[in-house]
Amino acid sequence: MFFHCSPGFLDDHQRDGSVDGQHKLPSSDSFTIKKHYLPFGLFEISGICGSTFTFKNRCDYMVWPGILSSAASTPLDSTGFELNPGESRSFEASPGWSGRFWGRTGCTFDSSGQGSCATGDCGSNQISCNGAGATPPATLAEFTIGSPSASNPQDFYDVSLVDGYNLPMAVDAHGGTGACGTTGCVTDLNRMCPSELRAGDGQACKSACEAFGNPEYCCSGPFGTPDTCHPSVYSETFKSACPRSYSYAYDDATSTFTCTGADYTITFCPASTSQKSSTDSSVPASVPAVPASTGTTTNDSPVLPKAPQPEDDPGSGSSWLPSFEIGGSSRRISYNALTSILISLFALCLSQL
């Protein structure tokens, strides 16, 4: 039988203070058990729980994440919120959810929550976006979460610069199976944005499509197919700086990632390039390459571009017991603790009969 997911079953131990009267923010040490198979053939805990999205702000300035769910998806608990430097916040998404996330910057809101943002504004004049998307230019994280009942239960995700760029962002998958690569754009493109693509005072960088409107840049009209729309000098500049991000509409081959049964962390300013650099008008002579990674993290932030490998799976050891993850750590629960958990879960399962 399947074990039913409930709020009490996903137990987040919290360390941070509350934000806007909401529950306390889950830390990176949050203890979550889900999407794993329990032994003894009694019952399964699988991807019926959907996915958890955790937003982390590693910038040295405030970010206001925006959330847009597709029309066919159950909306998340928020469509927009504020995230102070160093804070994190998590949301549960149901199986089959699809939508996009972005970060708004330079926002000014009054005591009633009315206002607007310098970049990524969704036009709602509120902290909540209420079903509206980001005004370009904005860095986007896009997801389609798989469903266990579907013929293909994989999740699909990407970070896109097709609508331009406003801040560094990375997406890290954990707890899932499959390739589950880390993707994103950790380079500060605002510092190297060509003058003809600069938005405002340099707080964001437009796409060539938005800046010029030409069909060959927008992959529209006679250029509306993969065979006729090709990278431009501008999209190639984006691609060189952020090789795992979408740089133009048909950049699928190197920019779409898959995983099954995972949770995801969306990190704003994930690397040392996270300083706000809206006023630096200098453009480097060459595009800086994303540094090679050993798969380690700095300050709990993902580092590109190494993708997790099957041999890195904490559950791939010789033990027949499953490896339950604690947050983003590969530590294992002791046998006694695991036994207690199994007994408690079995008792709770029986109580539902």
Question: Beta-strand (E) ranges in 243-285?
Answer: 257-259, 263-268
Q: What is the pLDDT of residue 344?
A: 55
Cis peptide, bond prior to residue 137, ω within 30 of zero: yes
Name the percent of the chain lying above pLDDT 70.
63
pLDDT of residue 91: 98
Return the number of other C-beta atoms located less than 10 Å from residue 78's C-beta: 17
Tokens for 45, please give them: 């805990």
- Selected residue with higher pLDDT from 43 and 133: 133
pLDDT given at position 46: 37
Query: Mean of the pLDDT values across residues 81-90?
Result: 98
Identify each DSSP E strand in the chain by its residue range. 14-18, 24-26, 51-57, 64-69, 88-93, 98-104, 108-109, 115-116, 140-144, 155-160, 169-174, 183-185, 198-199, 204-205, 257-259, 263-268
Rounded to whole angstroms, how far apart are CA atoms 117 and 119?
A: 6
Confidence at residue 25, expressed as pLDDT on a 0 to 100 scale: 31
Where does the pLDDT of residue 350 fall: very low under 50, low under 70, confident under 90, or very high at 90 and above? low
Please name each of the domains of the chain with its CATH number: 50-205+232-311 (2.60.110.10)
For residue 67, pLDDT beyond 70: yes
Question: What average pLDDT score do residues 88-98 get?
Answer: 97
Please state the rounded mean pLDDT for residues 151-167. 95
> What's the chain's average pLDDT?
75
| 320 vs 80: which has the higher pLDDT | 80
More confident: 126 or 349: 126
- pTM for this entry: 0.68
